[in-house]
Amino acid sequence: MLVGYMRVSKADGSQVTDLQRDALLAAKVDAGHIYEDTASGKRDDRPGLAACLKALREGDTLAVWKLDRLGRDLRHLVNTVHDLTARGVGFKVLSGHGASIDTTSPSGKLVFGIFAALAEFERELIVERTKAGMAAARARGRNGGRPYKMTAAKLRLAMASMGRKETKVGELCAELGITRQTLYRHVGPDGSLRSDGQKLLGGKPATNKTA
């Protein structure tokens, strides 16, 4: 049995499913076996697709108008079709760049295999770029993670300010652009330097000279 799925991204009426529906009906998909969604192809929570995948049985074939109707993420597409294949369900694209994909035929399986290889290649490129970026950051003295918002200049100002009774911690943090937690990791309530503050100043035991 042929089961159809169609999708548009907007619910404001600017996009309609007429063209997709006509293509599915022309491919001999029964009108009662067509599922649809109004959602981005990048979203995982698509009730129409979920119901469609649940309804498919071994020997069925899922048909879509174009490949991007099923999803815009290559890896998601590959994983979905792999799951269908494992269940004995075929997948067929009616038009567009993926029109040669039909996992019920040998040539269609070959084309899909190329798509799967591209998805794996994309994944490896992302991993490789991430590792290269981390290596470059370490070479520049960074070990990853978010940079500290506290700077040496801010720290010295905080030390001087915290030593004054009239200082309001909330206003000081807002002026320095840091959180209370960051402030107190570096400076004590009396303006004394704490361990993180000593590290920031290169381990120098700086002291607050303000009374």
For the segment 140-150, what is each residue's pLDDT rounded down to a tens digit? 665 555 555 88
Shared domain check, 183 and 109: no
pLDDT at 209: 45
Chain segment 67-123, per-residue pLDDT in tens: 888 876 777 788 888 888 889 999 999 988 777 788 888 877 777 777 666 656 566
3-class DSSP assignment, residue 88: coil
183: containing domain: 152-200
Rg of the chain over all Cα atoms, to the nearest angstrom: 29
The Cα–Cα gap between 150 and 47 comes to 46
Identify whether 94 is part of a domain.
Answer: yes
Residue 93 belongs to a domain with what CATH number? 3.40.50.1390
Shared domain check, 107 and 35: yes
> Can you tell me which residue has the tokens 């009730």?
47
Q: What percentage of residues in the chain have a pLDDT greater than 90?
A: 29
Shared domain check, 169 and 85: no
Identify whether 169 is part of a domain.
Answer: yes
Number of structural domains the chain divides into? 2
Catalytic residue positions?
9
The Cα–Cα gap between 63 and 5 comes to 6
Shared domain check, 194 and 103: no
Shared domain check, 114 and 41: yes
Chain segment 37-70, per-residue pLDDT in tens: 988 767 767 899 999 999 999 999 999 998 888 8
The Cα–Cα gap between 209 and 197 comes to 16
Identify whether 18 is part of a domain.
Answer: yes
pLDDT at 210: 43
Shared domain check, 160 and 90: no
Better-scored residue on pLDDT, 102 or 29: 29
Q: Residues, the chain, total?
A: 211
Identify whether 39 is part of a domain.
Answer: yes
pLDDT at 121: 56
Identify whether 207 is part of a domain.
Answer: no
Shared domain check, 182 and 109: no
